Structure 1
Amino acid sequence: MIRPLRLLLLVTICATSSLAWAAEETVFVEAESFREPGGWSLDTQFITEMGSPYLLAHGLGNPVADATTTFKVTEGGKYRVYVRTKDWVARWKAPGKPGRFQLLINGQPLATEFGTESANWFWQPGGDVELKPGEHRLALHDLTGFDGRCDAIVLTKSSQVPPIAAKELAAYRAKGLGLSETPTIKKGYDLVVVGGGYAGVGAALSAARMGCKVALIQDRGVLGGNGSSEVRVWSMGLIRRGKYPRVGEIVEEFCDHAKKSPGTADEFEDAKKERIVSAEDKIDLFLHTFANGVKKSQPARIDAVKAFNVKTGEQFEFWGKLFVDATGHGTIGAQADAAWEMTDKGRMGMSNMWTWDEVRSPTTFPETPWALPLTMKDFPYPVDHHGQWFWESGYDKDPLQDAEGIRDWNLRAVFGAFNAMKNGDGAEKHRNAILTWVAFIGGPRESRRLTGDVVLTQEDIVSKREFPDGCVPSTWSIDLHYPKKQFAEKFVDNPFISIAVHDQRIDRAYGYPVPYRCFYSKDINNLFMAGRNISVTHEALGTTRVMKTCGMMGEVVGKAAYLCALHDCQPRDVYESYWKEMDKLLQLPGKARRQSLSSDVVIPADAMSLPGPPGLDPARMEGVVIDNRDAKVSGNWTSGSGLNGYVGYEYLYASANSGAKVKYSWKTAEEGLISFRLIYGAHENRGKAVPVTIQIGNSTKQVLVDMTKAPAGKDGSHELGRFEVKKGEEVFVEIGTENAGGVVHADALQLVKIVPPVKTPAP
């Protein structure tokens, strides 16, 4: 359904850790601005939800090192202390207080243990403290290692309790931190990219290499999004194929090559991604920068994106000609009042994957009464020491306004599972087990989808509907996730284990070309989108959402942005007026570059060579080779690639007597004797009498082929016969299934001219 944008109050922080105001001195300290975070992690996922980044004590059951900073007071005396925090399991009325931590002032802990009250973010009172004028030391001291969280600390002489309501809290925070009303202006950009996942990185690199000045804004400290070391979803989706086999070369430069998902942090190569982006002098990279609004002087156009640095508090405005929403959540589009959709129920959820290992000696793990009460039968055993993608929840929960709740439920599931392994019915088997990693950054799959001029559907994809602007090959099956019934009954409200249901009617070798018109907003004239928030239905998202496919969207958008900057036009104009130019751009190597918008393209020596298909390349084979992709196909055929030696991207197979047919056509360029050869893969289940009809002009001949026998010719070819042809004559070869006696295999037709040997005259 189409939803109106829910107005979100997004606040910013300041690098100054404290400031006194009014007659009664008040000190406001942002936890995320602590000078030394210690073992506490910066969590920026839920700013739109709770108003700020915060520090998280994610220690996997081992208390993390203290976060420390200093503050000053000008007036001595008694100060009341408040800490903005929450009891993160209280919403489920779970026993225990896993998020407990202390506040230390000058090395002395306050009597209050924080993180022990309220299911919602609030100001937990910490009592009074006597302070002398001058500088004081402040520390967050974790007590559990189980995800205690702190947003801010207030020390005040006022009797006023800090406000909780979003609007009042924003004003209070701004006053306490002395936030400047004048942001730092960043201007002169041809393209502003918001989101540093695969889509955003692909867009930034692609545009910069075409001469665009680019700002790349990422709220985290690493690039890659779900494909970073923080989330560890390996990069899936095939690249460099289809109509534009150069698309994907940029993705190939920066993608990970992890052997497992989640795998290890090193396998996801965060440093490589940042190094490749930083090497481009036309990209200004802004890590730890959260985009929290837009500026518009016209209803259908964005002038600037507003943002702030989540660690220093510096506020920015990024002014540009064009913008890319690569946030995954369609955040910029929604803030700009672009049309968007979100499936109400049954969305794909959020994953928080995890890993464990075994050591030589027995280990202990704290009891977790607050976690989900699991036994070993309540979850799939984490084979190979990995809790994989299917540790997923939130199908019917709000992925925008309840994202923290979804993540926290996942944490309760993971810790409950490991508790069952260590302290429950799996204890004997897992005496030496240790928990090595749990993702506290969630890997979301689905939320908003911005609306473009084309909304791609499942039927478009499986029927191979041809769009003239089809350009990004999607090769993943239509992969939709649902709660797995076996594990859903105990937690009906929010199951945490999913199952993937695949629609395999996808061209997984060549790829279904997703149209360019899915990559820009239909009503915000200068807004592109790339990634999982493009213009598709819920079902179609099942195939377009994987990392490498999203990265290729970015590549296409970057090149389109170049044309927009060059011609001073909008994204829609690229399709309507400049598609011939776009077609040429999409055929350039990924490393091709120009120094400015108007300069010539330079192709460096280390550019990738043009890729061929995964099978035998028809262009490198003898004679004329007509692949099944270039034939007329009727009836119910299935594509396959399991038998080696096929031509092109795959072969087709169909049941006997199914009525299915494949018809190859060829117009002769010259007369001569031609060897007609059928290329197929032999198998014991293939037909022994596959009918093949050859029509040359008005002459017709049928040949029966035993496909259980391996072809004797080169490249898996079987000669059907040799026939004289005339120049310009129409030739047809049709493979049928009638009385074939088994499965019929259709791959390619090869036509080779027979050149008679030159006779040497007698001496």
Structure 2
Amino acid sequence: MKKLAVLITSLALHFSSFSQSSNPVFLETENFQNKGGWVVDQQFMDLMGSSYLMAHGMGVPVADAETTVEFQSTGEYTVFVRTFNWTSPWFDGEGPGKFQLVVNGKKTKQVLGASGSEWLWQNAGKVNISSTKVKVGLHDLTGFNGRVDAICFTKGNTPPPNDLEALETFRKTHLGISMTPEKAGHFDLVVVGGGIAGTTAAISAARLGLQVALIQDRPVLGGNNSSEVRVHLGGRINVNPFPALGDVVKEIGPTRGGNAQPADYYEDEKKMEMVLAEQNISLFTNYRAFAVETKNSRITEVHARNIENAKELTFSAPLFADCTGDGTIGFLAGADYAMGREGRSEFEEPTAPEIADKMTMGSSVQWYSVEESNPVAFPAFRYGVEFNSSNSEKVTMGEWTWETGMNFDQIYDFERIRDYGLLVVYSNWSFLKNFSPNKNEYTNRRLEWVAYIAGKRESRRLLGDLILKEQDITNYVVYPDASAPTTWTIDLHYPAPKNTEHFPDMEFKSIAVHKKIHPYPIPYRCFYSRNVDNLFMAGRNISVTHVALGTVRVMRTTGMMGEVVGMAALVAKRNNTTPRGVYKNHLDELKKLMNKGVGKYNAENMQKYNEGSTLGPKE
């Protein structure tokens, strides 16, 4: 922390000089008072500095975003806007994400968002400010995902810095954000990530009497099972050896199945109501964890930033649970992790490739269309990926098989991965609507929903005292710390061969290869870090190989992991020990809790969809 303090001090002096000479007014767009039809996208905060507003209109311009800001002085200002031409990785020309800045009702002449090949400050021209109270707006021109990070009015001619470290300090200096985060409180357990695993971990621990902080970087809970991503739950609950596991999943899960369905299928409100009903949970939605403090191989604090107003909070606890999916907290704390596919010799897994590589399962941008009673137009969309009669997907919706980014880094290339998902959906739909010989079949169809929050399957896997491998599962090697059962097949995804034929190295469709298993109890040792002493994990970032991830990653299974982690947190607190100490010295105590479960409402299991195909119980 001392090194960080020195960096901030030197940069602050530079920006103080910038402020005196140019008198800048700095706006973060995600903090606009009226966002109109623009959406807040936080998925890439770690990569480009903050969340941003995006015009996700699916080809129809969205309503203006507006805010009012106070200026200290009037006069002529140069305006810089930080934006990104998102199709630039595939198309050299002018991009589709066009928008204009609006100042006191007048649009600037410059069209923004259509040039450049990275996040950068574009000059929007000069404006005359005649009043200290100014209305600033964003006017979308296309509906095709124009995006804006920040706006700076300056009396000089120099844009703010684009370097992330320098820009971070610039933001705080000119937004008046404290360099010292506010303390959110001290808890028994801090759970980071509000997907199914994080939600069940928080509920489980809270029902057992722990004071829990649940941090989620979106306004809704559920992660991939929310209305923002729309993946249905998979796997079975309430099976041996601990049939009470899954009771919380049963309580919070939607009653209807299906991918890429209307928003109400995913019952966001049910998950939220279940969490809010627990008095021992302090819920922090719209906060993204971005830093940790550690001491003696333990996490002491997690820092989180609000995705809209940039307010920062710190959370302290003796125990933390990484349910981020990406293993973010573990990574920041220096936890051992793996990413990509292990070579066959490393664990002798029959399904592993001969040589290790960086390939992962990809991320899905799902979508669907609806039939209207009248013709519906869609703009021609051609930005580097050409569709024709032989390679187009002649469909009216796309679910999990629309999967991208297997050969890219699912952390550092994630914006590109998501954007490619958007690119191919729009490009294919444009061909079907405008150029296909069968376009009359699509005349009345309207693009109803396209996900802008991508559904990710795999990235970092944090390593525990045991790394679950393929043979453990297929040979039914039951360990003494057997816990939450995995009931899905070993389900691994690969680029679809036909899609590879048409789009080599640019695939956007996948196939699934299944290997049937017996329902298998995952060892508890997969649920805590081997070198960060007070860190649990639940979800797709647990301690497994790439092959073993194929079965444990479905959400009813990850939800049961969360229940076990909540129980283990109680055992750890009660005995003043670590997650490893629970395994070494208090395993019987954990087993009693797993036998009993933490179900509260005696709910009937209405989730009889997508349970998967296995060989049944091992004799």
Q: TM-score, length-normalised on structure 1?
A: 0.74
Using the TM superposition, give the Cα deviation of residue 94 of structure 1 relative to its aligned residue in structure 2, in angstroms.
4.9
Structure 1 partner of 2:206? 208
- Deviations 1:295-324, CA, capped at 9 Å, x for gaps: 1132x1000100111112211000111000
User: Are the counterparts in 2 of residues 371 and 413 from structure 1 also a CA contact under 8 Å?
Assistant: no
| 1:98 and 1:148 in contact (8 A); partners too | yes
CA contact (8 A) 1:346 1:482 kept: no
- 1:315–1:65 distance in 2 versus 1, CA, 3 Å: same
* Structure 1 residue identity aligned to 2:539: G
- How far apart are 1:370 and its partner, in Å? 1.6
Contact kept, 8 Å, 1:44 with 1:53, in 2: the verdict is yes
State the SS of the aligned residue for 1:304: strand
Q: Is the 8 A contact 1:338 1:521 kept in 2?
A: yes
Residue 174 (1) aligns with residue 172 (2): yes
The alignment covers a number of residue pairs equal to: 583
SS of match in other structure, 1:532: coil
The match for 1:421 is: 432
Q: Secondary structure at the residue paired with 2:147? A: strand
> Secondary structure at the residue paired with 2:427?
helix
The CA RMSD measured in Å over matched residues stands at: 2.0
1:303 to 277, 300, 305: 300
- How far is 1:91 from its partner? 1.9
Q: Does 1:585 align with 2:593?
A: yes
Find the aligned partners of 1:530 and 1:476 in 2 and give their Cα distance. Answer: 17
CA distance in 2, matches of 1:236, 1:379: 29
**Correspondence 1:488-507 to 2 at 5 A:** 488-504=500-516, 506-507=517-518
In the alignment, the residues of structure 2 paired with residue 80 and residue 188 of structure 1 have an alpha-carbon distance, to the nearest angstrom, of 45
One-letter code of the match for 1:374?
F
The C-alpha deviation readout for 1:428-453, integer Å capped at 9, x for no partner, is 22111110000010001110000000
1:378 match = 391
| Alpha-carbon contact 1:469-1:517 (below 8 Å) kept | yes
Q: Which residue of 1 aligns with 2:23?
A: 25
Deviation of 1:485 after TM superposition, in Å, equals: 0.8
Superimposed CA distance per residue, residues 379-402 of structure 1 (whole angstroms, 9 cap, x where no aligned partner): 4433xx431100001011011111
Counterpart mapping for 1:93-242 below 5 A = 93-242=91-240
Distance in structure 1 (CA, Å) of the matches to 2:501 and 2:605: 52
Q: Percent identity?
A: 44
1:44 to 38, 42, 45: 42
1:116 Cα shift?
1.4
Partner of 1:365: 378
1:550 aligns with 2:558: yes
Hey, what's the Cα distance between the residues in 2 that align with 1:487 and 1:136?
Answer: 51
What is residue 561 of structure 1 aligned with on the other side? 569
Equivalent AA in structure 2 for residue 179 of structure 1: I
User: Structure 1 unaligned runs (5+)?
Assistant: 1-6, 12-19, 593-605, 615-637, 641-648, 653-661, 663-763
Which amino acid is 1:158 matched to? G
Structure 1 residue matching 2:317: 3-state secondary structure: strand
Q: Provide the C-alpha distance between the structure 2 equivalents of 1:436 and 1:258, rounded to a whole number of angstroms.
A: 20
C-alpha displacement of 1:376:
4.5
User: CA offsets, 1:170-229, max 9 Å, x none?
Assistant: 122222212212221122300000000001001000000000000000000100000100
Whether the 8 Å contact between 1:87 and 1:97 is mirrored in structure 2 is: yes
**Deviation, structure 1 residue 71:** 1.1
Q: Which amino acid aligns with 1:451?
A: L
State whether residues 536 and 565 of structure 2, in contact with CA within 8 Å, keep that contact through their aligned partners in structure 1.
yes
Q: Deviations over 1:679-699 (max 9, x none)?
A: xxxxxxxxxxxxxxxxxxxxx
Range that drifts further, 444-453 or 170-179: 170-179
Structure 2: distance between partners of 1:639 and 1:607: 27
Contact 1:349 1:446 in 2 (8 A): yes
Q: Which amino acid aligns with 1:475?
A: T
1:403 corresponds to 2:414: yes
Q: Does 2:390 correspond to 1:393?
A: no
Give the deviation of 1:160 after TM superposition: 2.3
Greater fraction of residues in helix? 2
Distance 1:451 1:117 in 2: 42
Q: Which has the higher strand share?
A: 1
- Measured after TM superposition, the shift of residue 93 of structure 1 is 2.1
Q: Secondary structure at the match of 1:99?
A: coil
**Offset at 1:421?**
1.4
Deviates more, 1:189-198 or 1:339-348: 339-348
Provide the secondary structure at the position in 2 that maps to 1:406.
helix
Q: Which amino acid aligns with 1:580?
A: D
Which digits, 9 at most, give the CA deviation of each residue in 1:602-656, with x for residues without a partner? xxxx435899x99xxxxxxxxxxxxxxxxxxxxxxx975xxxxxxxx56x9xxxx
Gaps of 5+ in 2: 9-17, 341-356
- Give 1:715-754 correspondences, 5 Å limit: none
Instruction: Map 1:47-62 to 2 at 5 A.
Output: 47-62=45-60
Aligned mates of 1:556, 1:379 — CA distance in 2: 45
Of stretches 428-437 and 229-238 in structure 1, the one that deviates more from structure 2 is 428-437
- How far residue 95 of structure 1 moved from its aligned partner, in angstroms, is 4.3
In structure 2, the partner of 1:14 is none
Hey, what's the Cα distance between the residues in 1 that align with 2:224 and 2:104? 40
